[in-house]
Structure 1
Amino acid sequence: MKRTSLKFSFIALSALLVMSCHDELDQTPIDPDTVTEQDVFADASQAKGALAKLYASLALTGQQGPAGQPDISGIDEGFSQYTRMLYNLNELTTDHAVVGWGDPGLPDLHAMSWSSGNDFTEAMYYRLAQEVSFTNSFIANANLLTDPIVEQYIAEARFLRAFAYYNLMDLYGNVPLTTEISTELPEQASRAEIFSFVEQELLDIQSSLATDGSNEYGRVDEVAAWALLSKLYLNAEVFTGEARYNEAVEFSEKVINSSYSINTNDANGNGSAYDELFLADNNVNGAQNEFIFALNFDGLQSQTFGGTTFLTHASIGGNMNALDYGVNAGWAGLRTTDALVKKFDVTDDALNNSFNTISNWAIIGSATPNGWNDPDTDMYEVGTDVYQIFATLSDGEMKFRRDNDWAVNYGGADGNAELNGGNISVDAGRYLITLDLNNNTYTLESIYNDLPDARAMFYTNGQSLEIEEIPPFEQGFAVTKFKNIDSNGNQGSDNTGNYVDTDYPVIRLPEIYLNYAEATLRGGNGSEATAVNLINEIRERAYGNSSASINSSDLTLEFVLDERSRELYWEGQRRTDLIRYNLFTTNDYLWPFKGDAQNGVSVPEFRTLFPIPNDLLSINPNLTQNEGY
């Protein structure tokens, strides 16, 4: 998709730039169908309609649906939607995702080589700037009304403004802080100053928001303020250099003790209540009980090429049938890396489906599924003279042999494959078994536990686990997490299959459970026993029973990070998590194509922040670019 340099409407620019255009909004428009600010803020009822625009600006992209009157120009309108950009910046830059499309600047995100002029990092900045602009305008005008309910509307607008600044601080670091309409060029605030602003706003508004669980679905209440404070304090050490884990525990507890609850309603009867969270009726099927802050999507009333429409379509390709996911076609773009897959307990069959070619080599022995008896357990050819299989083995012994015949067999010790060598001793477990006859070696890589995890929502048939090149869709497992199918198996409301009904959970209760556990382990004054119980509640839903429950000895920071990955993948959290663990840029954790290398390499630390848009720097001399750009 060819694009010229980004150009943004004054609505987006005004938030963090000059506000001189605001007077134009006070003029009576020539178009009689256009609603003036005087009309919008005539009374509380009209103000509520304006409040809806503040929520909608995080879900939609313009004034007339999927395309045509964008808020941000110079980039494909669907690309500029908030949750699509959140995915690009917080998931695509990590071990959770790759994309095969070649739009300028997009491959650079997973390669961690973006420039200061990257379209996508700029578009996200302006999307959030627009939200600040809208909320500032709303607050100024709503303050003129005297109806008591307007105080709650203003509190909701302040929450959304604080949420926008939380994102700006996380993604860009030091940014201008503006809370009112002004013609002055704003100064650049430090990350610590933005942190203090967000913190104070959320503390101030909590008693003005709707009480716990009392607001309309899709609008925030006091629990949302507590949840955002939980996130804020968990990341305080990154944002300000000062740990605030006691406060992270405190506000996590307030959320945990609220009326929100983990969904356990298996509405479609498939044995798991996890997939309901990402179905087309997740506003009514029980999932809504754990959605603290969600963005609403409707295939007829709120059409966009971002949001869950993007997550559903873009994840479908290869030999997947788009109709199975409630849409009319796949966009053949998004997949995941083996780094995410290996965090799950996935069945042997599902993993072996990723191999295309059965070979004439196999494993045999007391440790293998069929013992020493025929038939052997066939391996798969993954390269010239390289063979693999995922298998669950017992305590015992095994060998490799060709054509179900002892004429050609390999055994040996210490990974050395010897013709007619001795039996290989094996401890019980699940393994990726590799025989490489180029150098006569074998490996048994233990990477999985014994039980299936319902959160592992991957399509493997015809998809390779390993990625040698990113563009081909068939390389890397496809993710089937988001669907436009309801709990009864029906397609969403748009019968053309273009647009998706599934709502997007920005903050949901399990994240706060995991915040509590991590903050406790990092020194917060929480209870490790409580943390174990909370995580086990999440895992019991994932496994269908308590067989995968952990105990206190299992509760480590590494385990919590992996559990966050399993529970929250593709929900816009991963980059922030990896930065908090000092794993995002370092060589302490590598994943496929990190740093644009197939096996991954470290990248410079400045990549923990994205660049301030170049347009802003040229217009406002008060701003300084982030280091490294």
Structure 2
Amino acid sequence: MKNIIKQKVIYILGLVLLIVGCTNDLDVEVKDPNALLADAFYSKPESYKQGLAGVYGNLTLTGASGPGSSNISGLDAGTSQYGRSFWNLQELTTDEVKWSWENDPGLRGLNTNTWTSDNVVIRGFFGRCMTQVAFVNEYLRQTTDAKLDGRGVSAELRNEIKTYRAEARFLRALAYYHLMDLFGKAGFVTENDPVGAYQSPQYDRSQLFAFVESELEAILPDLKNPLQNEYARADKAAAWMVLAKIYLNAEVFIGEDKYDQCLTYCKNIIDAGFVLSPVYANNFNADNHNNSARNEIIFPIVSDGVVTQNYGPTTVMVNAQVGSLEQNGADFGVAGWAGGLRVTKQFSETMLNGNYDNDDRNTIISEDRTIELTNMDNYGTGYITAKWSNKTSAGVNGSATEIVDTDFPMFRLADVYLMYAEAVLRGASGGSLTTAKDYINLLRNRANNTKLITVGDLNLDLILNERMVELYGEAHRRQDLIRFGKFTGGIYNWSWKGSVVSGIAISDIYKVFPIPRASVAANPNLKQNTGY
């Protein structure tokens, strides 16, 4: 699929066909002057795959005029890019990393856990998710049996379209999963609602959970088997992964224990043929779509420095991890944005506590820096890391010097191993503590860490640390801290939590983000989250 999404023209063609019904579905204004008639577009058999590419493209691209354009009115491209805004919300709000340039709209509030319903990054992600929902809905409207009958679509193509429709429904379920996790509610609309039905009913977490669960179960028979689809297209394993995620977090989402179900889907993925890349860093290199990481990555957001240009999470992380003191952009194959990202004292202390000193996952660069981020404006405070790269596994620079070729691994096998271990520790039946221990040691062995654990070492605190070390920068941390009861309150504080350098307790209202004020104004059925 990367080769398809890399063709901007295909994305544009797919996009403009979906614009007709978008504005009211989204509660945001979608703009494109080049709307085409759907029947004209779908007159060619290849257009159905191109239309699907347009839906996938919403994860990567932001508009039809290059990486600086946005098809959501009033939001810039960086603010509204799916992966980047998702990453901002899941990472900057935690103990992992902070954004140095706090004058960038919305980012100071995320750094310091003081956001409001006017935060543009929050609005950008809510709008991008609803954009995805609208794009999927229109694609499904254009691929019904009645539409295909009217266009004389062949039986062979119809069989392919059945899979395309399942993939589109996966992308919609993914968007609603993210809305459930970050906002706890959303306007709910499907292809069965009339185009223009913008005042959609509000679904709460329990309703969204039920929809995501039932939708993924319904499409599983029509998705391709694991590792049998084109790269970056959803297969059964991607659906299993989202199901495992909602079950792992079910106590947060719906107040129910679903660890047995989480374990079942983790085992499905583990048994499906995915394998760890023997080199940890290959998951985060410019050729991670085509090196040994390909069979570890379950579902990515693609990036390409020349064609699929976007200011997404990997472009941000590779450029912004370049240090202001070190000026080490050449190490990562980019010119770099010196000083953009620094890690917290608590992150550094976890990495340097003796368990991970000799571990390939520990990429901390300390130089002459202080471990504490004493001043956001002093880019020489706080350590930096070197996890992401725009160089290939062979050390060759990517195709461009700013926008990177590195795909963002939204889901990968290493996370499944850690989910398995956590589910077992939390009481799931059908698993084994010995197997859980073995999976963690597989990850440590892969990272050349000789400090292997025993079954007696297993506890939830170890799991939370292992998740940080293995997955930092991959947009899991906020969800993890909430699930472990360490995000709000004062049990665990980190640098700049609550806008204080040493960290202070924050209210439980921050376990979810506010519904953007603009969205509430557009859809009176949306009720603001408590405390905002």
Would the TM-score normalized by the shorter structure come out above 0.5? yes
- What pairs with 1:453-464 in structure 2 (closer than 5 Å)? 453-464=359-370
Match of residue 13 from structure 2:
none
Code of the residue aligned with 1:337 in structure 2: it is: T
Distance 2:444 2:336 in 1: 33
Q: How far is 1:12 from its partner?
A: 6.0
Match of residue 153 from structure 1:
164
Code of the residue aligned with 1:321 in structure 2: it is: N
1:203 has 2:203 as partner: no
Match of residue 601 from structure 1:
504
Distance 1:12 1:592 in 2: 40
Corresponding residue to 1:483 among 376, 379, 389: 389
Corresponding residue to 1:449 among 355, 362, 379: 355
1:470 has 2:340 as partner: no
Q: How far is 1:11 from its partner?
A: 7.0
Q: How far is 1:330 from its partner?
A: 2.0
1:293 has 2:285 as partner: no
Q: How far is 1:140 from its partner?
A: 1.3
Match of residue 50 from structure 2:
49
| CA displacement 1:60-97 (0-9 Å, x = unmatched) | 11112211x41123233122211211221000000001
1:59 has 2:50 as partner: no
Corresponding residue to 2:25 among 5, 10, 15: 15
CA RMSD of aligned residues (A): 2.0
Corresponding residue to 2:309 among 303, 306, 311: 303
Q: How far is 1:121 from its partner?
A: 0.7
Distance 2:340 2:227 in 1: 38
Match of residue 215 from structure 1:
229
Code of the residue aligned with 1:535 in structure 2: it is: I
Q: How far is 1:463 from its partner?
A: 2.6
Match of residue 290 from structure 2:
284
Q: How far is 1:332 from its partner?
A: 2.2
Q: How far is 1:320 from its partner?
A: 2.4
Whether the 8 Å contact between 2:282 and 2:393 is mirrored in structure 1 is yes
Whether the 8 Å contact between 1:298 and 1:499 is mirrored in structure 2 is yes
Corresponding residue to 2:468 among 530, 551, 565: 565
Match of residue 86 from structure 2:
86
- What pairs with 1:223-302 in structure 2 (closer than 5 Å)? 223-264=237-278, 273-302=279-308
1:162 has 2:173 as partner: yes
Classify the secondary structure of the residue corresponding to 1:15: helix
Distance 2:23 2:253 in 1: 25
Match of residue 320 from structure 2:
314
Match of residue 435 from structure 1:
none
Cα 1:212/1:45, change in 2 over 3 Å = same
Structure with a larger share of its residues in helix: 2
Distance 2:445 2:394 in 1: 24
Cα 1:88/1:12, change in 2 over 3 Å = farther
| CA displacement 1:381-413 (0-9 Å, x = unmatched) | xxxxxxxxxxxxxxxxxxxxxxxxxxxxxxxxx
Q: How far is 1:620 from its partner?
A: 1.9
TM-score relative to the length of structure 1: 0.76
- What pairs with 1:400-549 in structure 2 (closer than 5 Å)? 447-449=353-355, 451-494=357-400, 497-525=401-429, 526-543=431-448, 547-549=450-452
Q: How far is 1:156 from its partner?
A: 0.3
Whether the 8 Å contact between 1:451 and 1:548 is mirrored in structure 2 is no
Match of residue 116 from structure 1:
117
Q: How far is 1:250 from its partner?
A: 0.6
1:626 has 2:532 as partner: no
Distance 1:613 1:554 in 2: 43
Whether the 8 Å contact between 2:362 and 2:469 is mirrored in structure 1 is yes
Distance 2:38 2:368 in 1: 55
TM-score relative to the length of structure 2: 0.90
Q: How far is 1:171 from its partner?
A: 0.6
Q: From the CA coordinates, give the structure whose radius of gyration is larger.
A: 1
| CA displacement 1:506-537 (0-9 Å, x = unmatched) | 00011111111111111111211111111111
Q: How far is 1:321 from its partner?
A: 2.2
Unmatched 5+ residue regions in structure 2?
Answer: 1-18
Q: How far is 1:343 from its partner?
A: 1.7
Match of residue 513 from structure 2:
610
Code of the residue aligned with 1:550 in structure 2: it is: I
Match of residue 347 from structure 2:
340
| CA displacement 1:173-209 (0-9 Å, x = unmatched) | 0211111242332111111000000000111111100
Code of the residue aligned with 2:421 in structure 1: it is: A
Distance 1:627 1:61 in 2: 31
Cα 1:178/1:280, change in 2 over 3 Å = same
Distance 1:122 1:552 in 2: 44
Whether the 8 Å contact between 1:278 and 1:481 is mirrored in structure 2 is yes
| CA displacement 1:451-482 (0-9 Å, x = unmatched) | 50110112222332111112222111112111
1:75 has 2:75 as partner: yes
Q: Comparing 504-513 with 520-529, which one deviates more in the overlay?
A: 520-529
Distance 1:618 1:483 in 2: 41
| CA displacement 1:408-457 (0-9 Å, x = unmatched) | xxxxxxxxxxxxxxxxxxxxxxxxxxxxxxxxxxxxxxx32375011011
Match of residue 425 from structure 1:
none
Distance 2:356 2:213 in 1: 43
Code of the residue aligned with 1:531 in structure 2: it is: A
Distance 1:10 1:107 in 2: 36
Classify the secondary structure of the residue corresponding to 1:475: coil
Distance 1:160 1:56 in 2: 11
Distance 2:349 2:372 in 1: 11
Distance 1:464 1:18 in 2: 43
Cα 1:212/1:474, change in 2 over 3 Å = same
Q: How far is 1:564 from its partner?
A: 0.5
Code of the residue aligned with 1:468 in structure 2: it is: T
Distance 2:41 2:129 in 1: 22
Q: How far is 1:315 from its partner?
A: 1.6
Distance 1:477 1:18 in 2: 39
Distance 1:11 1:308 in 2: 31
Code of the residue aligned with 1:72 in structure 2: it is: I
Whether the 8 Å contact between 1:59 and 1:307 is mirrored in structure 2 is no
Structure with a larger share of its residues in strand: 1
Match of residue 204 from structure 2:
190
Code of the residue aligned with 2:136 in structure 1: it is: T
Whether the 8 Å contact between 2:188 and 2:201 is mirrored in structure 1 is yes
Unmatched 5+ residue regions in structure 1?
Answer: 1-8, 265-272, 346-446
User: Percent same amino acid among aligned pairs?
Assistant: 39
Distance 1:602 1:82 in 2: 30
| CA displacement 1:220-268 (0-9 Å, x = unmatched) | 111111111111100111111111111000111100111111111xxxx
Cα 1:510/1:449, change in 2 over 3 Å = closer
Distance 1:153 1:580 in 2: 34
Whether the 8 Å contact between 1:593 and 1:600 is mirrored in structure 2 is yes
Distance 1:202 1:48 in 2: 21
Code of the residue aligned with 1:307 in structure 2: it is: P
Cα 1:109/1:12, change in 2 over 3 Å = farther
Q: How far is 1:487 from its partner?
A: 1.6
| CA displacement 1:148-177 (0-9 Å, x = unmatched) | 110000000000000000000001002111
Code of the residue aligned with 1:156 in structure 2: it is: E
Distance 1:316 1:18 in 2: 35
Distance 2:393 2:522 in 1: 51
Distance 1:105 1:12 in 2: 25
Code of the residue aligned with 1:492 in structure 2: it is: G
Distance 1:627 1:308 in 2: 33
Cα 1:506/1:450, change in 2 over 3 Å = closer
